[in-house]
Amino acid sequence: MERWKGMLYLFGAFTLAGTSVITAWLLNGKLGAFTITAISLLLALMILVPMRLQALVRTLRRRAGTNWRQLLLQAVFGMFLFRMFMLFGLSHTSAAEAGIITGATPAITVVLASLVLKERVNRFSLLGIASTVSGIILIQGLFSQDYSFTVQHLIGNVLVLCAASSESVFNILSRMSSTKNDGRSQQPVDPVVQTTLVSAIAFLLCLIPAGFEHPLRSLAGIAWEEWLALIWYGPFVTALAFVFWYAGIRRCDASTAAAFSGMMPFTALVLSVVLLGQRAGVEQWAGGLLVAGGMVLIGVNQKRIGGERNIGKSGLNLNTAKRT
């Protein structure tokens, strides 16, 4: 039951995360990248801090130095670098392509989970990774007859790919933190409190560079549509999505999170076509199908591993019963 809860939380987290691509595209060019991140985090903190103020104070009193390092790394990769790469990347590529390229997150997460967490990778995972990489190459239009190399476009896609990589590193860091806490039998940190701490650290990281973007003057010049986008980017994409994420990752392993991260590119692609009126060409849709196929293969792999684990546990219980 807990695992199903975790998967439901992860579904919500990555669906909301997919809307960040559209929100960032709407705000891009109206405000500086660091200003967008700082204001959205501030709006999120205005909701999160009052919500769990007492629990936040208790957590601050008992956190050790190692935990602070983990929170700092999560803030750097999960919020700061992810948003910087995404916002700068969207200056050179479309929201539709950016949404598809974030589909590389599952493959990168599986590779990191194998190297860092020693999670098993079988042929389904390898096929999923190969499918994802092929899809990303196809999205670039390298095999099109009328293909023309555009440095700016390529730079934009590479930056979005860096954002996907940052998201994958964040996934692994979160799982490592959850596993260490379980191993030490520590009381798990409330997801809202953990989101608050990580958001506060990321906010502090953005303050100085945002100051060079003349934020007050920029904010005074935006319309109500941009303010609505900032509000969505803060309390929903930041606060709610990360609360769902921390609630889900403590119940599921990194490979399960990798499979559900496929909701991010799917949501971004659909919204970019429906809301923004952007068009995706045949090669982009074909690349998207390959990326989606990679996510399905990775998800099938996780389901098989989960079944094998259950069988192993049943066998272990049976052997124990025989011995007794």
Per-residue tens of pLDDT for the chain, all 324 residues:
677 788 788 889 988 988 988 898 888 888 999 999 999 999 999 999 998 888 888 888 776 555 788 889 999 999 999 999 999 998 888 887 787 788 788 778 878 888 887 777 677 777 877 777 777 667 655 555 555 556 777 888 899 999 999 988 998 888 787 766 655 545 667 888 889 999 999 999 999 999 999 999 999 989 998 999 999 999 999 889 989 988 888 887 776 777 777 777 778 877 887 888 877 677 767 877 877 777 677 666 555 555 554 544 444 344 444 444
Q: Are 99 and 267 in contact (CB under 8 A)?
A: yes
DSSP state of 104: G
How much is the pTM?
0.76
The pLDDT of residue 188 is 64
The pLDDT of residue 320 is 42
Handedness of CA 18, 21, 22, 23 (dihedral sign): positive
Residue 211 CB partners (closer than 8 Å, separation 6+): none
Amino acid, res. 138? L
Q: From the CB of residue 302, how many other CB atoms can be counted at a distance below 10 Å?
A: 24
Among residues 98, 74, 78, 101, the alpha carbon closest in space to that of 87 is found at 98
Q: Are 257 and 248 in contact (CB under 8 A)?
A: yes
Q: Are 308 and 255 in contact (CB under 8 A)?
A: no
The pLDDT of residue 40 is 93
What's phi and psi for 28, nearest 5 deg?
Answer: -65, 130
| Helices 105-116 and 123-139: angle between axes, nearest 10 degrees | 140
Whole-number Å distance between alpha carbons of 178 and 217: 42
The pLDDT of residue 185 is 46
Compute and round to an integer the Cα radius of gyration of the chain: 20
Q: Are 289 and 134 in contact (CB under 8 A)?
A: no
Residue 184 CB partners (closer than 8 Å, separation 6+): none
Q: Name the 3-class secondary structure at 278.
A: coil
DSSP state of 119: -
Whole-number Å distance between alpha carbons of 319 and 189: 36
Residue 22 CB partners (closer than 8 Å, separation 6+): 95, 268, 271, 272, 275, 276
The pLDDT of residue 121 is 67
Whole-number Å distance between alpha carbons of 69 and 222: 36
Beta bridge partners of 31: 28
The pLDDT of residue 303 is 54
Q: Are 89 and 224 in contact (CB under 8 A)?
A: no
The pLDDT of residue 81 is 94
Q: From the CB of residue 91, how many other CB atoms can be counted at a distance below 10 Å?
A: 14
Amino acid, res. 60? L
